[in-house]
A and B are shown apart, each in its own frame.
Chain A
Amino acid sequence: MKIVVCIKQVPETTNVKINEKTKNIDRRGLGGVINSYDLHALETALEIKRNVGGEVITMTMGPDDFAVSLRETLALGADSSILLSDRAFAGADTLATGYVLGKAIKKIGDVDLVLLGQQSVDADTGQVGPIMAELLQIPQVTYANEVIAENNSLLIKRNLDNVAQEITAQLPLLLTVTDTINQPQYTNVVEITKSFAKPITTWHASELQLDDSRVGQAGSPTIVRSISSPEKAAKVGHKLTNDPREAAAELVAILKKQNILTEED
Chain B
Amino acid sequence: MDQKQISKEILLRMVKSFTENEVAPYDMEIDQTRSYVNELLDKIKKYDFLSTMLPEEYGGAGFDGETTAAMINEIARGNASLGVTLEGHFKSIDQIVKYGNQALKDEYLPQAKSRIIAFSMTEPSGGSNPLGITSHAEKKGDEWVINGDKIMITNGGLAEIYCVMVKTAPKELSFFVVDKDMEGFEYGKQENFLGLTGVPVGEIVMNNIEVDDNHLLGKVGMGKEIGDSAHNDARVLMGAVLTGIMEHELNIVTDYATHRKAMDTPIIQMQGIQRKVADIAVAKETTKLLYQKAAWLKDHHQDYEEEAAMAKAYGSRSAVKSGDDALQILGGYGYSLDYPVEHLIRDARAMEIAEGTVEKMRTAIALIEAKNRA
Contact = CB atoms under 8 A, between A and B. Distances in A.
B14 A186 contact: yes
Interface string A13-50: 00000000000000000010100000000000000000
A187 B61 CA distance: 12
Contacts of B18: 186
B13 interface: yes
A190 B9 contact: no
B56 A193 contact: yes
Given A67-B6, A196-B3, A187 B14 contact: yes
B17 interface: yes
B3 A68 contact: no
Nearest to A12: B13
A72 B61 CA distance: 14
Counting chain A CB atoms within 10 Å of each CB, the highest count among B3, B52, B61, B62 belongs to: B61
B11 interface: yes
Interface residues of A, number: 17
Interface residues of B, number: 24
Contacts of A72: 10, 13-14
Interface stretch (B43-51, B88-96, B129-137, B176-184): B43-51
B271 to A, nearest CB: 27
Interface string A181-208: 0000011111111001000000000000
A33 B48 contact: no
A193 B7 CA distance: 7
A207 to B, nearest CB: 23
Nearest to B9: A68
B1 A189 contact: no
B188 interface: no
Interface in B313-366: none
B62 to A, nearest CB: 6
B47 A192 contact: no
Given A65-B1, A68-B1, A193-B62, A188 B48 contact: yes
A78 interface: no
A193 B10 CA distance: 10
B6 A189 contact: no
The binding surface of chain B is classed by DSSP as: helix
A1 interface: no
Nearest to B12: A31
Contacts of A189: 11, 14, 47-49, 51-52, 61, 63
A191 B49 CA distance: 11
Contact of A68 (B6, B46, B61, B113): B6
A158 interface: no
A8 interface: no
B59 interface: yes
A186 B61 contact: no
Interface string B1-26: 10100110111011001100000000
Interface in B36-76: 46-49, 51-52, 56, 59-63
A144 interface: no
B60 A192 contact: no
Nearest to A184: B17
Nearest to A74: B10
A190 B59 contact: yes
Interface in A53-91: 65, 67-68, 71-72, 75
A191 B59 CA distance: 10
23 contacts: A31-B9, A31-B13, A67-B6, A71-B10, A72-B13, A187-B14, A187-B47, A188-B48, A189-B14, A189-B48, A189-B51, A189-B61, A190-B48, A190-B51, A190-B59, A190-B61, A190-B113, A192-B7, A192-B10, A192-B14, A193-B61, A193-B63, A196-B7
Interface of B: 1, 3, 6-7, 9-11, 13-14, 17-18, 46-49, 51-52, 56, 59-63, 113
Interface of A: 31, 33, 65, 67-68, 71-72, 75, 186-193, 196
